Amino acid sequence: MIRDVTDRDFPREVEQASMPVLVEFWQPGCGHCLALLTQLEQLQEEVAPVLKIVKMNVQENFQIPAELEIRSLPALALFERGEFVRFIGGIGRKDEIRKQLNLT
C-alpha cells in the first residue's frame, strides 16, 4: 500500500529521504488517479529498494501542490536528494513509468 504524505510531513518523508521519491498528487473521485494508484502499487513492489512512492491528496493538502503549481490530476513528481527534479509524463502503465524513471 502506498503511504499518504501531507504538507506537514512532506519535509521528513520526501525532502529528507535517502532515496529518490515519486509523489502522486491525486484527489478522491478522480478515476484516472485511482487507476494510476493501482499501477504505482504494482511498481512499488518492484522498485522498493531504490525508489520510494507516496501519494498526496490535494483536497487535504494545499501548500506543496501550490508550490509545484499542480494544475491537473493525476500528477507525478520526482524528487531526488530533497529537490524537485521533474514531472513524469506518460502516466498510465507501470512499465511506461519505469521507463520514464530509467528503471527498466
Please list the active-site residues. Answer: 30, 33
Question: Which cell is 68 given?
Answer: 509545484
Structural contact between residues 14 and 61, judged by C-beta atoms closer than 8 angstroms: no
Question: Which cell is 60 given?
Answer: 487535504
Runs of H (alpha helix) within the chain: 10, 31-47, 63-67, 94-100
Task: Determine the Cα–Cα distance for residues 73 and 32; give it in Å rounded to an integer.
Answer: 8
